[in-house]
A and B are shown apart, each in its own frame.
Chain A
Amino acid sequence: MPDTVEEQSLDNALSIRRATTDHLKHVTDLDARITGKSKPEYWQDIFERYASRRVDQRFFLVAEPGDGTADTGILGLIAGEVRGWEFGSEPCGWIFAVSVDPDYRQQGIGEALFEAMVDEFRKAGIPKVRTMVRRQNPLHMSFFRSEGMVAGPYIQLEMNLEEG
């Protein structure tokens, strides 16, 4: 079931655009607030790889309040890329990060980010989008389900290497 949080109302319009290095601090701060762990090096690396290189197949988008011109922080982010031929798969879009400010959830920001990402994949000629979520994370599971995503043809397997 989704987190129950005190929600703030999103009075103004929402602007979704590609992230720039100006957003790095906001992205790091939002992630730290949600996960309780600050990872500046990780996000710096993601920015270098996803916000500036192969930008026709890699997409790092942020949602900002209003027209996005004021430096007021971000309301959410989504990151994904086109990957091909791994595990025998035709090229498809992968979403590997999505976050919305907990104070502004349930207002369509996640959905707007998801749709913007799907549009980018469509423009890149990609007909399929995939992601991976923790089974025990009902918030993410419910979100992607509500956007129409269903179980795909792959199943993730793993093995604990510390056991015999």
Chain B
Amino acid sequence: MQKSSRLAIYALIELASNPDRQISAAEIGAKYRVSAHHLAKVLLTLGRAGLVQSIRGVGGGYTFTGNAKRLTLLEIISLFEDTSTKCKLSDPSKATNEEWVLFDVSKEINDITMSTYSSISIATLLKQVERRKNSKTSKKDMAPAQF
């Protein structure tokens, strides 16, 4: 996954988990230790796709306007990189058996990756974040007291 796709997913998680707040690119950038400039470019693409809305002015920022239950990782990643599973052999009509065999291996891996991305929504990621927080908390509760 390319950096822009990762930043987009982080930004969408942040905005979708705070539906009542407008959050600035600088605030998201600080949390994920990335440049606000790069993030602003990513947010522009998300805005054009109708997934976020920007509100200018003092106290302005971004809000999530997508459907967290329906929006999948594949749809987000597709905004920033080529996710097509079309044949990538330079000239299929002249490809050797060896080239086809390696192509089949790459396609197998790519198919699993794409179906995984397409099965995970932003809402599912938010649930996973919560589960991770809870599991960390319960591990802390179980830890012996430090003296």
Contacts and interface: CB of A to CB of B under 8 A. Distances in A.
Interface of A: 1-2, 135-136, 138, 141-142, 145-146, 148, 151
Contacts of A141: 115, 118-119
Nearest to B120: A145
Contacts of A1: 70, 72, 118
Contacts of A136: 115
B115 A146 contact: no
B123 to A, nearest CB: 7
Interface of B: 69-70, 72, 111-112, 115-116, 118-121, 123-124, 127-128, 131
Interface SS of B by simple majority: helix
Given A135-B112, A145-B119, A146-B124, 14 more contacts: A1-B118, A2-B70, A135-B111, A136-B115, A138-B118, A141-B115, A141-B118, A142-B72, A142-B120, A142-B121, A145-B120, A145-B124, A146-B121, A148-B131
A148 B118 CA distance: 15
18 contacts: A1-B118, A135-B111, A135-B112, A135-B115, A136-B115, A138-B118, A138-B119, A141-B118, A141-B119, A142-B72, A142-B121, A142-B124, A145-B120, A146-B121, A146-B127, A148-B128, A148-B131, A151-B116
B134 to A, nearest CB: 11
B43 to A, nearest CB: 24
A146 B123 CA distance: 8
B121 to A, nearest CB: 7
Nearest to B112: A135
Contacts of A146: 121, 123-124, 127
A157 to B, nearest CB: 10
> Which residue, B69, B116, B119, B128, has most C-beta atoms of chain A within 10 A?
B119
Contacts of A151: 116
